[in-house]
Amino acid sequence: MKKATALMVLVLFLGLIVYAFAQKEEAEKMVAPDPAAELAKSVANGKKLFNDKTLGTADMTCNSCHMEGGTKEGKMGETVIPAWDNLAPKYPKYFAMGKRVMTLDQVVQFCIVNPLKGKALAWDDQKLTDLTAYCASVKKAPKKEEK
């Protein structure tokens, strides 16, 4: 009789340990998403927004001026818009159109409000983050000859 009770307690105890480990794994999955995957998701969403006319009212997208996703030189009137290559480390910097020093997300906001004639996004709006993440991700396309 005593042996059976001890065995039951042992089984219960082992069960509890297994359960605790399963819960811990579940909790870790919830609090620690993969940082690289999260960034990739943000960049992908920003790329979609880059081609979204509803950000503004000018019947244009970011891509109308920052052509081929920002990888190609564009023009706005007389202004030459250089192709992008690894923008993030260049900011904050003096942004001529804004007539002051700006961060990269402030420049993105500036382009939403001015060239696109859209409504400013809230500074904590995920759309602003995603667009900025996309702009920061753009690297100069390698020339086809060099390979």
First to last CA, the chain: 78
- Find the binder of ligand HEC among 96, 99, 124, 144 (CB under 6 A): 96
> Beta strand pairing status for 79-81 and 93-95?
unpaired
* CB closer to ligand HEC, 43 vs 107: 107
Tokens of 78: 């007389």
Give kind and range of the element (H or E) at residue 100. Answer: strand 100-102
Q: What is the sign, positive or negative, of the torsion defined by CA atoms of 118, 100, 130, 141?
A: positive
Residue 116 sits in the site that holds ligand HEC (CB under 6 A): yes
Residue with tokens 């307690």: 9
- Find the binder of ligand HEC among 41, 45, 53, 65 (CB under 6 A): 65
Residue 43 sits in the site that holds ligand HEC (CB under 6 A): no
Stretch that binds ligand HEC, among 8-16, 32-40, 80-88, 139-147 (CB under 6 A): 80-88
Stretch that binds ligand HEC, among 15-23, 30-38, 110-118, 122-130 (CB under 6 A): 110-118
Find the shortest distance in angstroms from Cβ 145 to ligand HEC: 25
Residue with tokens 């904050």: 92
Residue 101 sits in the site that holds ligand HEC (CB under 6 A): no
Virtual torsion, Cα 89, 90, 95, 96, nearest 10 deg: -160
What residues make contact with ligand HEC under the rule CB under 6 A? Answer: 55, 60, 62, 64-66, 76, 79, 81-82, 84, 87, 96-97, 104, 107-108, 111-112, 115-116, 131, 135
